[in-house]
Amino acid sequence: MLAFKKKLLMKKLLRYSTVCLLLLTAFGSCKKYLDINKNPNAAEEPPISGLLANTTYNTAYEVYSASNYTSYYVQYLASPNPASDVDIYNTVDPSTTWYRFYNIMTDLYDMRKFAVQKGQTDHVAISDILMALHINMATNLWGDIPYSEAFIGVNNLTPAFDNQQALFDTALNMLDAGITLLQPINDTTIVDSTSDFIHNGQTSAWLKTAHALKARMLNQLSKTNSYSPDAVLAELQNAYTSNRDDAQVTSFEVRNPWAQVALDNAGLDLDGWLSAYFVGVTKDSIYDVFDPRLPLIGTITRYGDYRGTPNGKGRTGTGTENKESYLAVGGWYSSDNSPLQIITYSECKFIEAEAQFRKGNKNTAYAAYMEGITANMEKMGVAETAITDYTTNPVVAVGADALTLQRIMAEKYVACFLSPVTWDDMRRMDYDYKGFMLPQNAALNTFIRRLSYPVNESSANSAHVPDVQLTDKLWWDQ
C-alpha cells in the first residue's frame, strides 16, 4: 500500500489526463482537477462527471486485468511459454491488477464523498454499486484486503487488512444502499449519459445491475450455511430480463484490450492462446458436441481444425507456425469494439438455473439453463439454425429429469468465457468439471485457491499482509 500511495499522484494525473482526452465533451474542462498543486488524496470540487467516466470505464478494464490471471487458472487460455508461472500455479506478482483496483476504489470513494456533499444521490448509488463490485472481486482474488484504512491518504501508508467475510457483508450492504437510493421515481440528479460508459446514465439499468450483482454474490455462498436459493432468486426477480440489460463497456480509447492481445499475437508477440481444455469443451472431444461459438472466438490451425495448448506445456516448436488456436483477430471477444462484460443476462440465467436446481425445482432450472445458452449464443450472433442444432443435441438437451449441476456449470463455463467469475465457480465446485485436470508441471499438488499478494505490498506493509498459501481456501470455499 505504501508503494501504491507514493505512486498515486502521478497515476491520478496520468489517468485523468487520459480520460479527459477520451471524453473531452463529457468532462467539459479537467483543468481544475489536474492542478498539480492540489493534494490528490484531498481533491477539492472534482468534476463528478469525470469521476463517473473514469470509474465506469476502468471498471471493465479491471475485469480484464483480473482475467489475465483467472483465465489461466480456469484454462480458458494457456501460456505459449513452457511452465509459465501463471499456468502452473507458481507465485506471481499481480501488482498492476492490485494498483488498478485501488486506483478505481479511491476514485469511487472520492465520487461518493463529493456526490453526498452535492446531494447527487444517483452518483452516490452508482459509487456504492461499483465499490461493492470491486470489494467482491478483490476479496475473491486475495481474501483479506485493506479497506477501512485504505483511503486515509498520506496519514496512513500501511493500512490494516480487513477480514474478507466482513467485507462481503460490507459489499452486500452497499448494494442494498444503492438499490434504496435508486428506487425513488423522481431522482434529485440526472446522470450524464456521456460520462457513464456502462449504462449511459440510465438509473433503471443500474438498479437492475445492483440486483444482478447481489444475486451473484449470494450465489457464491453455496458452500456455506448462509446459502439461500430463495434469496438468490428474489434478487434475480429484479435483475436482467434480456441481453440489452448487460453491464458492459463498448467504447474504447483505441480498442478492446483483448483485441490488442489478438493483434499482438498475430504480430508474433505471443499471447492469447486458447487452452486445450477450453477447445476440448467446445470442439466436441469432452462433451461430444461441437459448439458454434468456437469459430467466433478462436482461429483455425494450419491443419484446418481447432487445437488448444495444454496449460503448463507451452508451445510446440517456435509458436509461429499456426499449429494451435488463438484468440482471433476480429473475433467476438477480441475485435476492436467487442464488449468488455461485467455481468450479463446469460450469467443471471445460469445463476437462476443453479439456485432452482439446488432448491429441487428441476423444471424451472432446466428452462433457465436453456435460456442461458440461447441468450449467450444470440448475443454472439450465432446463426439461428446453429443455435437450434446445438440446443436440441442430446448432450445439451438432457431434459429436466436428467439435468445435473455439472451440466449447468459446463454451459455457464462457455457462456462466461474470460470472466473472472468462472474462477469463483470452479472453487465453489471444487474444480469438479468433466476432464479438468491440474496443469502440466504444476507447482502445487492441488488446485489453486487464491492469488498471491503483490511483492511491493508484502514488502512495504509486511506487518499487515496476511501469511497465506495459494492453496488456502477463502471463507466461502471451505
In a domain, 136, yes or no: yes
How large is the greatest C-alpha to C-alpha distance in the chain, in angstroms? 67
In a domain, 205, yes or no: yes
According to DSSP, residue 274 is labeled E
Give the model's pLDDT for residue 468.
Answer: 97
In a domain, 193, yes or no: yes
Give the model's pLDDT for residue 212.
Answer: 99
- Residue 66, burial from CB neighbour count under 10 angstroms (0-12, 13-18, 19+): buried
Q: Quote the crossing angle between the two packed helices 164-182 and 203-219, to the nearest 10°.
A: 150
Q: Quote the crossing angle between the two packed helices 362-380 and 405-415, to the nearest 10°.
A: 20
Residues of the chain with pLDDT under 70: 1-45, 185-189
- The answer for residues whose C-beta is within 8 angstroms of residue 292's C-beta and 6 or more apart is 377, 382, 383, 386, 387, 389, 390
Give the model's pLDDT for residue 23.
Answer: 44
Give the type of residue at 373: I
According to DSSP, residue 337 is labeled T
Residues of the domain holding 241: 41-250+340-344+416-477
| CA distances (Å), origin 193, targets 190, 239, 241, 272 | 9, 21, 22, 33
In a domain, 96, yes or no: yes
In a domain, 295, yes or no: no
Give the model's pLDDT for residue 1.
Answer: 53
Number of domains in the chain: 1
For position 147, which CATH number holds? 1.25.40.390
Give the model's pLDDT for residue 152.
Answer: 87
| CA distances (Å), origin 1, targets 38, 55, 102, 160, 475 | 21, 20, 9, 10, 23
Give the model's pLDDT for residue 46.
Answer: 72
For residue 229 the three cell numbers come to: 436459493
Strand partners, 273: 78, 326
Give the model's pLDDT for residue 288.
Answer: 95
In a domain, 52, yes or no: yes
Q: What is the pTM for the complete model shown?
A: 0.91
Give the model's pLDDT for residue 185.
Answer: 55
In a domain, 119, yes or no: yes
In a domain, 257, yes or no: no
Strand partners, 341: 248
